[in-house]
Amino acid sequence: MIQRIQTVYLLLSSICLWLTFFFDFSIYTVGEQTVPFNLFGFENVQGSMSWFPYSIVIPIIASISVISIFQFKKRTNQLFIGRVMYLLLLLILGFIFYDTSNIFAVLKVGGQSVIIQYGIGLFLTVASLPFVFLANRAIKKDEKLVREADRLR
């Protein structure tokens, strides 16, 4: 039963990450101009560019999530992969927020008012964190049940 729960959580995490291909992290409005910031970075805004390869790293993490599902016989490997995914997602979120504030600062220098609208892509990336956390928790419970069953034999 717990095996199914962790599979669902890992699938939901992977789906959230794959959906970031279709949604923006944030959209900036400066006067009449709109500047989207998505998985592929953002347009060159007054000499500022995103250097972090979101379009490579996020699909890799989503693929690792799917690969982790098939590691159900090796729960320690699954836990390790889950911890690595959790750290990578936190790192990516840090870079996203850094780039978001960097774009805002660059656009603000122009003197015009800048309006930020956070997109669904940002919320999907944040939503994948609890799913990875819950999957790791289910894996730990499963490991505990297996160890208790071995003790009874």
Q: Break the chain into its structural domains and give their ranges.
A: 2-152
Phi-psi region of 44 (alpha: psi -120 to 50; beta: other; left: phi over 0): beta
CATH entry, 2-152, from 1.10.287, 1.20.120, 1.10.357, 1.20.140: 1.20.140
pLDDT value at position 142?
Answer: 84
**According to the model, what pLDDT value does residue 44 have?**
59
| Residues paired with residue 36 on neighbouring β-strands, in sequence order | 27
Where does residue 122 rank: exposed (0-12), middle (13-18), buried (19+ CB within 10 A)? buried
Query: What pLDDT was estimated at residue 47?
Result: 55
Find the radius of gyration of the CA atoms of the chain.
Answer: 19
CA 62 to chain centre: 8
Q: For the whole model, what pTM was predicted?
A: 0.83
Which residues of the chain register pLDDT less than 70? 1-3, 43-51, 110, 151-153
* CA distance to 2, 5, 114, 134, 144, per residue, from 141 (Å): 8, 11, 48, 11, 5
